[in-house]
Each structure stands twice: as structure tokens, then as C-alpha cells.
Structure 1
Amino acid sequence: MAEQAEPQRTIGFIYPDHAAEDDYPLAERLLGDEVRLPVAHIYGTDLHAVEELLDLGKPERLAEGARLLAPREPDAVVWACTSGSFVYGWKGAGEQAAGLSAAAGVPATSTSFAFVRAARALGLRRVAVAASYPDEVAKLFVEFLAAGGIEVVSMSSQDIDTAAEVGRLSPEAVVDLAAAHDHPDADGLLIPDTAMRTLALVDTMEERIGKPVLTANLVTIWEGLRLAGAARAAGGLGALFRIPPAEIPAEGE
């Protein structure tokens, strides 16, 4: 009897403006024909400042993203923006994800929660953070991780004001950022900006520092797959995608 093909799963991503969204078609190629990763864009300021980020992640913007993704019939939807979710705090980000789920009619989450889930899946309890944001915004990410039980032993902020500037960083600059801001007491390194192209660099960064590296677009895609019931191992995407699906802890573990 021929083996039954795995059903195709579609995970929709709501991405703010334009910067590093080409990480998503790259992931689609690496993950194979059973996965589709469409991206819908919403628009607002790309400034890394608290008030602007609160505006960027407001319910009506995310509902518009859900509407744009609806023709693709996604099995799950992810708000692919770290700062536009953690800026709401743990409780507020939870309400944001619940509102998006209601608007999309499918399970939904955000990049900030994806970081916590991914760190837990790898057993990372103490991490270093290499943030591109200004210090005021980066500290809110540290607080969010703490609420999720992840201790930050070292945090750097690059004080880059806009997502567009982050998107223009060269591959060499991104790898150097990771290498410069690791910490010997950290189990892994987190790089929290979906505006930064990182997917093709994760293996290189991990080889350079000798420990897992979690980047925003990487964890966003991984958590979207998990949420849609399509978790999978894959090469070329670092330690996170080497976890066998059967070994990924269930929600709440």
C-alpha cells in the first residue's frame, strides 16, 4: 500500500511593512512541499519607539492582516513582530493573540510568545539577548522573557531606530552581532527583530558561538508550524529545527 502523503499545511504571517520578509519563502523552500508560508503586510511607522509599536500592534491592524490572509485559508496565523507584541507585556500580548485568533478563526500567536516556546523546547533557561532596538524597547523584551520564565544574563541594545535600517544590515554584520553579544553564562543567544535577515545565517552563528541561536523569523516560523500541527525537523535552520517533533514539549510543559 502506498504511503499516504502528508496534508499540506498553510501558516499565515502578518508582517509589518517591508524588511526581511524574504526569510519566509526561503524557509518554505527548506521545509518542503507540504508547507506554505504566505505573508500579508500591514503598514504603520517602522520606528522602534513604545507608542509607535503599540499603534502598530493594535487590533484593527492585525484584523486587517487576518483579512488579507483569509483567501489562503491558513491553519494558523502568527503576528510576525517581536517588538509589536512584547511592548504590550505578557497579559496584553496574550489578549492581542486571542484577538487575532478570533479575527482569523484559527489558532494565533506572536513572535514574542514564539521566543519563549522555542527557548523552552531547547531547554534554554538563561540566555543572552542581542537586540537591535533602542535600550528602552530592548528592556521590555527582557521583562517579557522573565514573565515566561526565561532569565536574561546579558542584554545588548544596538539603538537602531527603524526596522528599515535593521533590514539593511549585511550578513557579516548580523553574524558579528551574534558573536559579539554572547555571554559565557548563557545557554543560548536570542536575536529579537523580524526586520533582520537571519534564516540563512543561523547555522553559521551557532557554529561561531557554539550554542543555539534563536532569531525572530526562525522562531516565528517554528511556532507557526507547531501551532498548525505541522512541526517538523529540517536541515539548515539551526538547533531549533533539529528537535524531533515528538520531543517538542506540549503547551504548558
Structure 2
Amino acid sequence: MTTIGFIYPDHAAEDDYPLAEQLLGGSDAAEGDIRLPVAHIYGTDLHAVPELLDLGSESRLAEGAGLLARHRPDAVVWACTSGSFVYGWEGARDQADRLAATAGVPASSTSFAFVHAAQAIGVRRVAVAASYPDDVARLFVDFLAAGGVEVLTMSSADIDTAAEVGRLAPDAVVDLAVTHDHPDADAVLVPDTAMRTLGEITAIEEKLGKPVLTANQVTLWEGLRLAGTARVVRSLGTLFRPGR
């Protein structure tokens, strides 16, 4: 049994994780038992720098790690992109290191998951389809650049709160990704864990004709990577397919 714990801010699209657990354990996945417990921490869900710095603070993540402890996770991931990249590359590294020390297992965040996933599938130049306000989205662009990922174009939907993002209809999620591609981009990145995306990845990739990396998708993949476990799940996109 492999257990990967996720610390998730407030409530929005956390039902992507039970869906992922089902996909990983079903006929669409390689054999093996995977558990994906989610611990919620609470602050404001506003996409604004001061609030995001508070949301990703050491004390809040320590609270999340404490809630996950009973599950005895093999790895822990801070499932929040903006609450990690807002600290910058070095700050986000320190954030993950402190979380690992508190949890006593390997730890990471969604921001690093994007960089690691891009590296894994050979993606160097991307388009970013962000739901955040522009000033927050630009911090994600800076983070990717620090990780060696070039952003050719960035769009910001200027949605202020995670709750609003979580209410986006599936068609709106697909449209956001597809309409903000760049012809020279190797992939499109959709960075908000508040957005339900796991059920839409196949449709997005079919329309794009290239990989899409979404926040909850890469967060799941990062947890598996930290736990030393690989899974093939065709419905979760290029990142989870063999022979990529």
C-alpha cells in the first residue's frame, strides 16, 4: 500500500483526488493499492499575494501535516500552486523542505510539480492559461523561468477567489486551456488546483494536439514520484502515458 497525503487549501476542486484514487486503482491503471488522503487547511481563498503568503506559511502547512499523520503517508504534497510559487524559487524550496521535516517524509508542492513534470516529458517552452489575476499569474511565470521553463505566452482570467474557479463548468475549463495555446509551445499549463481538470484532460489534449499539464494532475504525479511509484493512467494525459 502506498499512501500519498495532500494538503489542500479550503474547498474547491478537492474531489479531483478521490477521482484520481479511483483511476489509479481501477482497470485503467497498473495494479497496486494507492491511497490519497486529503487534509484541508483554512485561510482566505483570495488570489492576492499577502493572503497567499499566509496560506502557505509554515504553521499552516504544519497543521496540514499533523492532520495527515494518522494516515502514515509515504510522501506529502502541498496541493496549492499560488501558495507556493508566491514565495519565489528559493522560498518555495524552503517551504517544501520545512514541510518534509515536519511530516518526516519527502515533500513537495504543486509549483515544483509543474517544473518536474515538464522536465519528465521534455517540455521547455509553454503557454500558461491561468485563472489568477495578472500580478499573481506573472509570479508563476517567474517561477517557471527559474526552473528552466520558458513561457511563450501567458493569459490571466482575473478570477479573484478559488471558490469561483471551482465553479467553472467543464466546457469552460477546456476552453480556457485550448484558446490560450501558442503555436510554438510544447505544452499548455493550467496552474490552479482550485480548478477541476482531471476529467477534462483527454478532451483538452485531443483539441490541442499536444500535452496539457494541469495543477491537480501534476500534483498527483509528483506525489507518486516522491513515493517511488509510477502508474500508467491513459485518461490522465501524456504525463501518465507510456512511451511519451
Q: TM-score range by the shorter chain?
A: over 0.9
Instruction: Tell me which residue corresponds to 1:45.
Output: 44
Aligned to 2:177: 178
SS state of the match for residue 234, structure 2?
A: coil
What does residue 232 of structure 1 align with? 231
Do the aligned partners of 1:47 and 1:161 also contact (CA within 8 Å) in 2?
A: yes
Q: How far apart in 2 are the matches of 1:202 and 1:60? A: 34
Equivalent AA in structure 1 for residue 226 of structure 2: L
Mapped to 2, the partners of 1:167 and 1:57 lie a distance apart of 19
Give the partner amino acid of 1:105: G
Answering whether residue 73 of structure 2 is matched by residue 74 of structure 1, we say: yes
Which residues of 2 match residues 60-209 of structure 1 at below 5 A? 60-209=59-208
SS of the aligned residue for 2:168 comes to coil
List per-residue Cα deviations over 1:202-238 (Å, max 9, x = no partner). Answer: 0110001110000000000001001001122112100
Contact 1:119 1:125 in 2 (8 A): yes
2:4 aligns with one of 7, 11, 15: 11
What's the CA shift for 1:114? 0.1
CA–CA distance in structure 2, aligned partners of residues 48 and 86 of structure 1: 12
- Structure 1 residue ranges, 4+ long, deviating more than 2 angstroms after superposition: none
Cross-structure match for 1:4: none
Identity %: 75
Amino acid at match of 1:19: A
Task: Give the conservation status (yes or no) of the 8 Å contact 1:30–1:235.
Answer: no
Q: Structure 1 CA distance, aligned partners of 2:102 and 2:160?
A: 31
The alignment partner of 1:236 has SS state of helix
Q: Aligned with 1:15: secondary structure?
A: strand
3-state DSSP of counterpart to 2:95:
helix
Coordinate RMSD, CA, aligned? 0.9
Partners of 1:178 and 1:217 lie apart in 2 by: 14
Q: Distance in 2 between matches of 1:205 and 1:82?
A: 20
Equivalences for residues 23-38 of structure 1 within 5 A: 23-32=16-25, 34-38=33-37
Q: Kindly provide the amino acid, as one letter, of the partner of residue 226 in structure 1.
A: R
| Residue in structure 2 matched with residue 56 of structure 1 by the alignment | 55
Q: What is the CA deviation profile of residues 115-143 of structure 1, one whole-angstrom value per residue up to 9, with x for unaligned ones? A: 00000001000000000000000000000
Q: Which amino acid aligns with 2:7?
A: I
CA distance in 2, matches of 1:230, 1:73: 16
Shift, 1:176, TM fit: 0.7
Where does the alignment leave 5 or more consecutive residues of structure 2 unmatched? 26-31
Residue 251 of structure 1 aligns with which residue? Answer: none
Question: What is the TM-score normalised by the length of structure 1?
Answer: 0.93
* Displacement of 1:81: 0.1
Deviation at 1:243, TM superposition (A): 3.9
SS at match of 2:50: helix
Contact 1:77 1:106 in 2 (8 A): yes
Q: TM-score, normalised by structure 2?
A: 0.96
Task: Write the distance in 2 (CA, Å) between the matches of 1:38 and 1:169.
Answer: 24
